């Protein structure tokens, strides 16, 4: 059996559920029973056939409602691999650093192209970091305190999965100064990210090698699966940019989160409306079982 989980950013009603079941029937998916996960917020619709057709019918079908389609068996995952910028936090840290340097427009334009997969990630990162040479290292702390905000749902997602025996790894193409602190604040087991070069209290325009890009993210997923004796099917990967695609495609549930078009097209599921609480609903975990602190 398969599950289609409808998750509302605002409110889910009986009409949405009835329409969803009708869509599944029309697509030949043989819908079965449905049940609330949380009333008015998220519901599971079971069906017997053709998950690809079910996804095509349900994604984007209802205003402010996301649909996650997957096999019913094994839907609760034991490993989370997550991107940081614009996924676990609300900003792109390099763009915020660029703002302090008076280079936001120039650098953010390159960030956008890299995240869309239009240019090479590693080359783009190297070029953007070079432009930040001379920025005082103290700005890193200032940027964290003034600009970095945790994405709604990030803490419950990570803490609930870990409380239920899972593991969580933050794998970021961003910078250690931010990633280590974000990981600790949210509750990740560990973080992997890039290290900015510093000389005499200033950024020297370099970034440590090897750069954490798409290949490294996939490697970290595979390493975590092996380290914990899991299978790829037990992993959940989430991100928004093109450099997240390999790990998203390799995980049992790969989620594009408010993602760039190429990432959304490559992922097995997408969250376009809700926040990261949606990934708990996708696993069938109701609000009463969330770890909130």
Active site residues: 83, 85
Torsion angle in degrees (nearest 10) through CA of 283, 284, 288, 291: -10
Secondary structure of residue 240 in the 3-state scheme: coil
Answer yes or no: are the C-beta atoms of 84 and 193 closer than 8 Å.
Answer: yes
Secondary structure of residue 168 in the 3-state scheme: strand
DSSP class of residue 117 equals T
Strand 167-175 with 42-47, pairing: unpaired
DSSP class of residue 22 equals H
Closest of 247, 260, 256 to residue 213, by C-alpha: 247
What distance in Å separates the CA atoms of residue 133 and residue 146, rounded to the nearest whole number? 21
What distance in Å separates the CA atoms of residue 290 and residue 278, rounded to the nearest whole number? 12
Phi and psi for 197 in degrees, rounded to 5? -75, 135
């Amino acid at each position: 059996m398969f599950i289609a989980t409808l998750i509302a950013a605002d409110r889910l009603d009986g009409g949405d559920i009835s329409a969803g079941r009708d869509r599944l029937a029309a697509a030949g998916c043989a819908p079965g029973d449905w049940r609330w996960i949380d009333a008015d917020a998220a519901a599971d619709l079971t069906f017997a056939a053709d998950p690809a057709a079910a996804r095509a019918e349900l994604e984007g079908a209802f205003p402010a409602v996301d649909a996650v389609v997957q096999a019913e068996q094994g839907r609760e995952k034991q490993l989370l691999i997550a991107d940081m910028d614009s996924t676990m936090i609300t900003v792109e840290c390099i763009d915020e650093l660029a703002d302090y340097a008076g280079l936001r427009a120039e650098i953010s334009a390159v960030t956008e192209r890299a995240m869309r997969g239009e240019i090479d990630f590693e080359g783009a990162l190297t070029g953007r970091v070079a432009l930040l040479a001379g920025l005082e290292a103290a700005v890193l702390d200032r940027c964290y305190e003034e600009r970095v905000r945790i994405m709604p749902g990030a803490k419950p997602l990570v803490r609930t999965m870990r409380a239920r025996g899972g593991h969580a790894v933050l794998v970021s193409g961003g910078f250690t100064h931010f990633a280590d602190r974000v990981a600790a604040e949210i509750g990740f087991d560990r973080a992997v990210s890039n290290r900015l070069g510093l000389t005499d209290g200033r950024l020297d325009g370099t970034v440590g090698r090897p750069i954490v890009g798409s290949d490294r993210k996939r490697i970290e997923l595979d390493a975590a699966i092996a380290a914990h004796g899991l299978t790829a099917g037990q992993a959940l990967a989430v991100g928004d940019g093109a450099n997240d695609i390999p790990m998203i495609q390799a995980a049992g549930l790969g989620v594009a989160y408010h993602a760039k078009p190429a990432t959304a097209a490559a992922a097995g599921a997408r969250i376009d409306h809700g926040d990261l609480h949606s990934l708990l609903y996708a696993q069938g975990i109701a609000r009463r079982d969330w770890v909130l602190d």
